[in-house]
């Protein structure tokens, strides 16, 4: 079996509810669908969501690096030889999201070639994940209304609130309103996307004491090493590394330097192969992990579920899997359903993300 052709197809789907957060805003899913074709007719697919404000990649950079740099080096290789593929892609630094999509496409191919769902190849721990929904910047009452609606319609009982605004009172008020309106049983945690300084984050933790917040993600830039370490030492709740830890090497650095004491795993930027390395590192060290969302489509969310449900440690917490609900449409032929707050894996060969070709034709940009 040999890789014959690699496509990187840019497409754009508008959001019905754009998501705003401290480092950026998403109003349209301007993503890239990666397709790896093999000589025996099999096709591996994955979604690449560019996040320039997080990793520096754009839709153009992803299509270019895949079609102009990776494809010529990977064509002719056996998709089972993932070690070789990663050695080849590793000669180009950075470009994590492009590499992640190539990796997930390869796993999709392996699953199809073996007639096995990828969640089984990865570990097969369980068949569904609890869902956490991400709430963007909005007035406090609107956030509460949205969370109550997601609770009622989908049974979601875990929410990640985007914070990192100034004045700090805006986010502090939102935390109080959400806790009062949602009651004590709903899990609430925060993600500041580097919007604050470490000292501002300390102040927010003081002023939200007693609200039962469970985690704080990327409160400040991890490069502010001294103050970040002080925050991690003093915080009563885990400080989660997200955009500071796209690779296993970054995870080692942040954990060893005390910049984080929990890690967010995102398959969109780590693929399944490096995500497994990150997970092994974290479980070996006794560090909590969360399954994060890179503002993923249903195609991307299915990849996260496949990985998250495959391992015990990634199912302990709810995974961020539902932001596709804010999109006006998607590419998946058989849409994801959320019931009783959970999303199930698909028991079909590969990752299970069958594409609706009519929709792809409608939204593709070339
Ligand atoms: C998150 O967890 O930070 C926002 C930017 C990005 O890259 O991912 C999202 C969500
Ligand atoms: Mg984050």
| Ligand 1 centroid – CA 42 distance (Å) | 32
Question: Is it true that the peptide bond before 167 is cis, omega within 30 degrees of 0?
Answer: yes
Ligand 1 atom 6: the closest Cα is on which residue?
294
pLDDT of residue 366: 87
What is the best residue among 30, 192, 293, 323 to mutate for testing ligand 1's pocket, by most ligand atoms within 8 Å of CB? 293
Q: Say whether 185 sits in a helix, a strand or coil.
A: coil
| Ligand 1 centroid – CA 20 distance (Å) | 10
Q: Say whether 253 sits in a helix, a strand or coil.
A: helix
Q: Cα–Cα distances in Å, from 59 out to 56, 176, 297?
A: 10, 38, 15
Q: How many CB atoms lie within 10 A of CB 153?
A: 10
Full pLDDT tens readout for the chain, 366 residues: 999 999 999 999 999 999 999 999 999 999 999 999 999 999 999 999 999 999 999 999 999 999 999 999 999 999 999 999 999 999 999 999 999 999 999 999 999 999 999 999 999 999 999 999 999 999 999 999 999 999 999 999 999 999 999 999 999 999 999 999 999 999 999 999 999 999 999 999 999 999 999 999 999 999 999 999 999 999 999 999 999 999 999 999 999 999 999 999 999 999 999 999 999 999 999 999 999 999 999 999 999 999 999 999 999 999 999 999 999 999 999 999 999 999 999 999 999 999 999 999 999 998
In contact, 291 and 307? CB cutoff 8 Å: yes
CA–CA separation, 62 vs 60, rounded Å?
A: 5
Which residues have any ligand 1 atom within 6 Å of their CB? 21, 23, 51, 54, 191, 193, 242-243, 292-295
The CATH 3.30.390.10 portion of the chain extends over 3-115
Q: Which of 1.10.10.60, 3.30.70.260, 3.90.1150.10, 3.30.390.10 is the CATH number of 3-115?
A: 3.30.390.10
CA–CA separation, 11 vs 200, rounded Å?
A: 39
Chain centroid, CA 300 distance in Å: 8
What is the best residue among 15, 22, 23, 100 to mutate for testing ligand 1's pocket, by most ligand atoms within 8 Å of CB? 23
What is the best residue among 30, 191, 304 to mutate for testing ligand 1's pocket, by most ligand atoms within 8 Å of CB? 191
Alpha helices by DSSP H, 123-257: 140-154, 169-182, 198-207, 225-234, 248-257
Element (H, E) at 147: helix 140-154
pLDDT of residue 286: 98
The CATH 3.20.20.120 portion of the chain extends over 120-344
| Ligand 2 centroid – CA 75 distance (Å) | 34
CATH code 2.60.40.10 for 120-344: no
Closest ligand 1 atom number to CA of residue 320: 2
Q: Cα–Cα distances in Å, from 217 out to 137, 163, 208, 344, 366?
A: 15, 10, 15, 26, 37
CA–CA separation, 322 vs 312, rounded Å?
A: 20
Q: How many CB atoms lie within 10 A of CB 56?
A: 13
CA–CA separation, 290 vs 364, rounded Å?
A: 32
The residues near 26 (Cβ < 8 Å, ≥ 6 apart) are 15, 18, 19, 295
Closest ligand 1 atom number to CA of residue 294: 8
Q: Which has the closest alpha carbon to 203: 193, 216, 214?
A: 216
């Amino acid at each position: 079996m040999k890789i014959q052709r690699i496509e990187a197809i840019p497409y754009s789907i508008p959001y019905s509810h754009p998501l705003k957060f401290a480092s950026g805003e998403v109003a349209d899913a301007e993503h890239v669908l990666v397709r790896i074709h093999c000589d025996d007719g099999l096709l591996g697919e994955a979604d690449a969501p560019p996040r320039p404000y997080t990793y520096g990649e754009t839709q153009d950079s992803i299509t270019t690096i895949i079609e102009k740099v990776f494809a010529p080096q990977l064509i002719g290789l056996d998709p089972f030889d993932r070690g070789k593929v990663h050695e080849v892609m590793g000669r180009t630094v950075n470009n994590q999201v492009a590499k992640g999509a190539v990796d997930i496409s390869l796993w999709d191919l392996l699953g199809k070639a073996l007639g096995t769902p990828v969640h089984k190849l990865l570990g097969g721990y369980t068949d569904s994940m609890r869902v956490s929904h991400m709430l963007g910047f909005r007035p406090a009452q609107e956030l509460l209304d949205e969370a109550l609606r997601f609770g009622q319609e989908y049974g979601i009982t875990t929410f990640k609130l985007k914070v990192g605004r100034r004045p700090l009172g805006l986010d502090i008020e939102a935390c109080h309103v959400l806790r009062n309106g949602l009651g004590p049983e709903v899990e609430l945690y925060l993600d500041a996307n580097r919007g604050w300084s470490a000292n501002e984050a300390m102040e927010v933790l003081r002023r939200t004491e007693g609200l039962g917040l469970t985690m704080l993600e990327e409160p400040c830039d991890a490069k502010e090493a001294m103050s970040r370490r002080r925050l991690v030492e003093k915080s009563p709740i885990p400080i989660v590394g997200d955009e500071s830890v796209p690779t296993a090497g970054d995870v080692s650095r942040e954990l060893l330097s005390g910049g984080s004491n929990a890690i967010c795993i995102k398959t969109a930027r780590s693929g399944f192969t490096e995500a497994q390395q990150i997970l092994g590192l974290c479980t070996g060290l006794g560090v909590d992990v969360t399954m994060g969302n890179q503002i993923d489509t249903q195609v991307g969310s299915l990849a996260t579920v496949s990985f998250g449900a495959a391992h015990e440690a990634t199912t302990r917490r709810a995974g961020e899997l539902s932001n596709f609900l804010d999109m006006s449409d998607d590419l998946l032929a058989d849409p994801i359903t959320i019931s009783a707050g959970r999303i199930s894996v698909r028991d079909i060969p590969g990752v299970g993300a069958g594409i609706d070709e009519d929709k792809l034709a409608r939204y593709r940009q070339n």
